[in-house]
Amino acid sequence: MPPNLRALVVLLYLTGLRIGEALALKWSDVDFEQSKLYVRRSVWRGKEQSPKSRRSIRAKHLLGGLQRVLQSHRELCIGREPDGYVFANLAGRSYDPDDLRRRVLYPAMQRAGIERKHARAYGFHLFRHSAGSQMQQVTAT
C-alpha cells in the first residue's frame, strides 16, 4: 500500500468514518491541540457535499496513536495548508473512492490472501464495521 494512504487505512479502522467523510477531511478539520477531528463534509463522485445525515456532522476524539499517524502523514503531504485535503492526490484534489478501492484496497487484500466472494464485496465500509465492533467490545467490558 502506498505510504501516503496508510494513514487513511488507520484513520478508517480507528474512527469508523465513511470513506467519503475521510477523503473530504481538510487540515482545518484536524485539531492536534484538542486531539479532535471534525467531520463537516463528504466527497461523492469527486464533489464535496454535506455528510449523509445531520448526525454525521460530528467531532471524533483522536487517539494518541492516530494523532501520531496523522502528524507523520502531514509531514509527507503536498497540501498542508488549512484548506488542503488530508488525503490529496498529486493535483491537490480528493481521491476517488472507487479508484482507491480498485487500485489500492483490492490489490492489498489479494496480497494478504483475502478472497473476495462478490465483485464489490469487502470495500472500505468494512473498516466502519470493524470500528463499530471494536467499540462494542471496549464498552462491553
Q: Quick one: average pLDDT of 112-131? A: 65
Q: What is the CB neighbour count within 10 angstroms for residue 106?
A: 16
Burial 16-40 (b: 16+ CB within 10 A, else e): bbbbbbbbbbbbebbeeeeeebbbb
Q: What's the pTM?
A: 0.81
Can you tell me the distance from the alpha carbon of 92 to that of 105, in angstroms, rounded to the nearest whole number?
Answer: 21
Of 115, 123, 102, which Cα lies nearest the Cα of 22? 123
Query: Is it the case that residue 129 has pLDDT exceeding 50?
Result: no
Question: In the chain, helix, strand, coil percent, each to 5?
Answer: 50, 15, 40
pLDDT, residue 40, reads 95
Map grid coordinates 484536524 to a residue. Answer: 30
pLDDT, residue 139, reads 41
- For 20-39, what is each residue's pLDDT tens digit? 999 999 999 999 999 999 99
User: What's 123's domain CATH number?
Assistant: 1.10.443.10
Would you mind telling me the total number of residues written for the chain in this entry? 141
pLDDT, residue 132, reads 44
pLDDT over 70 percentage in the chain: 82
Residue 13 amino acid letter: Y
Overall number of domains in the chain: 1
C-alpha cell recorded at residue 81: 495548508
Q: What is the mean pLDDT of the chain?
A: 81
- Domain coverage including residue 133: 3-140
